[in-house]
């Protein structure tokens, strides 16, 4: 289990981040990965529940039924939706980590998939409390737009941490680690574009189906 305080202090200090990841690398194990992942998703799940309470409370005050809306937060449907999101998040993480692993190997990486997964879980644990705050603040109507700027900066720093992670986990030099990241981001962009096109095609097809159904002659 990663010490969250140490992870935050070291990973958010650019001069210490790479050395900290190198120190954590020998600890790589499936058990450590699972524990770190569980802690990360615990933070995320609690933040989502609090965020839902804030959102529904604001809506409930306007609607005059805050108690009913707050009760909806802990309904089976809401909890099932959160659980489904966790499962999807883990599956996507494994897929994206697999893609990054293959790219790093193509550039001569000598590390293992488990090393990458573990170091990624270490960075996730460090980011979990910060994401916790951002998730909640984004549900506050007055603050939701304001926090987007620091959150965007956090995302940029996360990319830098991923670069360091690749460099350490796969024992790559700075240039090859940079090439790996450029290729990885390029693949991610292509995937997003293809998914967007697929969704637009499906949406267009559904609209055409509805239009054709509406134009069909109705039985007398």
Which of 142, 151, 165 has the alpha carbon at shortest distance from 96? 165
**199: Cβ contacts below 8 Å, ≥ 6 apart:** none
**61: Cβ contacts below 8 Å, ≥ 6 apart:** none
Tokens describing residue 149: 């700027």
Q: What pLDDT band is residue 88 in, cutting at 50, 70 and 90?
A: confident
- Between 45 and 99, name the one with better pLDDT: 99
Q: Mean pLDDT in the chain?
A: 84
- Do 123 and 185 contact (CB within 8 A), yes or no? no
Please work out, in degrees rounded to the nearest 5, the angle formed at the alpha carbon of residue 150 by the alpha carbons of 190 and 38: 70
Q: How far apart are CA 27 and CA 33, in angstroms?
A: 10
Taking only the tens place, the pLDDT of each residue in 124-180 is 999 999 989 988 888 777 777 788 888 889 989 999 999 999 999 999 999 999 999
Least confident of 24-33, 67-76, 179-188: 67-76
In degrees and rounded to multiples of 5, residue 88 shows phi and psi of -60, -40
Q: How far apart are CA 151 and CA 155, in angstroms?
A: 6
Taking only the tens place, the pLDDT of each residue in 1-40 is 778 899 999 999 999 999 999 999 999 999 999 999 999 9
Tokens describing residue 208: 């055409």
């Amino acid at each position: 289990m990663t010490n969250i305080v140490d992870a935050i202090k070291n990973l958010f200090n650019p001069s210490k981040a790479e050395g900290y990841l190198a120190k954590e690398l020998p600890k790589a194990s499936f058990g450590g990965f699972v524990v770190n992942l569980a802690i990360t998703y615990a933070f995320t799940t609690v933040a989502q529940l609090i965020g839902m309470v804030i959102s529904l409370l604001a809506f409930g005050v306007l609607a005059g039924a805050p108690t009913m809306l707050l009760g909806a937060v802990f309904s089976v449907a809401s909890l099932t939706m959160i659980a489904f999101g966790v499962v999807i998040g883990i599956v996507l993480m494994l897929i994206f980590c697999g893609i990054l692993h293959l790219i790093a190997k193509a550039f001569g990486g000598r590390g293992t998939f488990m090393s990458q997964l573990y170091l990624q879980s270490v960075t996730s644990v460090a980011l979990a409390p910060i994401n916790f705050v951002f998730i909640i603040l984004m549900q506050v109507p007055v603050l939701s737009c304001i926090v987007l700027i620091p959150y965007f900066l956090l995302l940029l720093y996360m990319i830098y941490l991923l670069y360091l992670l690749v460099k350490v986990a796969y024992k790559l030099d700075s240039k090859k680690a940079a090439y790996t990241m450029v290729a990885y981001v390029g693949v991610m962009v292509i995937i997003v574009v293809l998914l967007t096109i697929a969704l637009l095609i499906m949406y267009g097809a559904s609209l055409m189906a509805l239009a054709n159904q509406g134009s069909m002659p109705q039985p007398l």
